Structure 1
Amino acid sequence: MFACHFHASDYRVLLPELFVRAIDYVVSQDLHALDAGRHTIPGIDPDDAFFMILEYQTTAESPVGPEFHHKYCDVQFIIQGEEQFGWAELTDTQHQQLSQEYHYDPQRDICFFDPQLVTLSYQTMSHDQFYLFSPRTAHMPNLSVTTTSQVRKVVIKLKYPA
């Protein structure tokens, strides 16, 4: 997992150009005014990058468990509300085994699995940071910090440069 303040220049140096272009475009939008759902990024092939505005209530426990991907990285950040997430780095072997055991869905590019199989670290999302989850980073978002919170969040999906 990579966490970075929007005001820091680190990500512009460390991340691939596609990631920087997508992040910079999304944060320049009026994210409170956009409808919830999927959005394209002008000048970028929708198969390479797109973003979603999500609205939901956090929960004390995840109903689906941690998730990971194969094709896309997630960049997530909060627009409104508060949320905690769990995360764990997977080895290549774990990624492959969990994909087979828990039936990775290539259509949705997602695999959910039993949280007891990894040791998750927990972090509260800060409003001035984004969080990048690579395909080898299992993540369990949408968790309550102390009480249930109505959340509006951005998830940018970026094709993994494999």
Structure 2
Amino acid sequence: MVVDSLTHHQLYHALSPRLAKALNHLAETDFTQAEVGTYPLEGKDIFVIVNDYHTKPKHTEPFEVHQQYIDVQYVVSGEEEFGYLPLAEQTPLAPYHQEHDFTEFDYESNKNDAAFIPLKAGMFALFFPGDMHMPGTLDTPTAVRKVVIKVKV
């Protein structure tokens, strides 16, 4: 997992060409005017999801893990917290969902081991396969515009 300001995105370009393309796209695009929805950047290898929502309390959300994609999560406006912990011996709530590339894990079973980190406007987080994360939380419901770019590993 990586958390940083988008102004430092070039520090992470060497991790992979696809990740560099995704981070450049974030830096070069005005997402305040973008339509909510999903669109391809490089077919199924890199695609963009623009979403508006209100944060939810931690206890109502599951943790998730991906196997095929890196999540690049960028807050355009608003703020949220995300939960994070390394995947270890946790038991999933259900089998891996291959079509949507996720496995969910229970909050209650993992809350004592998780760190909750603020993600404010202008910041991004990179979640690699094996990084358990719970995005979109905050105790007080807050409006958030977020862009998630899925980058195939």
TM over 0.5, shorter chain = yes
2:149 match: 156
1:50 maps to amino acid = F
Q: What is the CA distance between 1:121 and its match in structure 2? A: 0.5
Aligned equivalent of 1:138: 132
Q: Please name the residue that 1:85 is paired with.
A: 82
What is the distance in 1 between the residues matched to 2:59 and 2:33?
28
- 1:127 corresponds, among 116, 121, 130, to 121
Structure with bigger strand share is 2
Contact 1:6 1:129 in 2 (8 A): yes
Task: Answer whether contact 1:4 1:11 (CA < 8 A) is retained.
Answer: no
Gaps of 5+ in 1: none
1:129 deviates by 2.2
- Show the counterpart of 1:104: 96
Which of 65, 68, 71 lines up with 2:62 in the alignment? 65
Deviation at 1:77? 1.1
CA contact (8 A) 2:77 2:120 kept: no
Instruction: Give 1:116's aligned residue.
Output: 108
* Contact 1:56–1:151 (CA under 8 A) maintained in structure 2: yes
Change (3 A) 1:62 1:33: farther
Deviation at 1:115, TM superposition (A): 2.0
> Are the equivalent residues in 1 in contact too, given 2:75–2:145 (CA < 8 A)?
yes
Who is 2:44 aligned against?
47
What is the TM-score with the length of structure 2 in the denominator? 0.89
Runs of 4+ residues over 6 Å off in structure 1: none
Please say which of residues 58-67 and 68-77 is displaced more in the overlay. Answer: 58-67
Q: Percent identity?
A: 28
**Contact kept? 1:87, 1:121, Cα under 8 Å:** yes
Residue 74 of structure 1 aligns with which residue?
A: 71
| CA positional deviation for 1:62 | 4.8
| 2:29 matches 1:35 | no
CA-CA distance at 1:126 after TM superposition: 2.7
Q: Write the deviation string for residues 94-133 of structure 1: whole angstroms up to 9, x where unpaired.
A: 37x63xx621111111111112343111001032321000
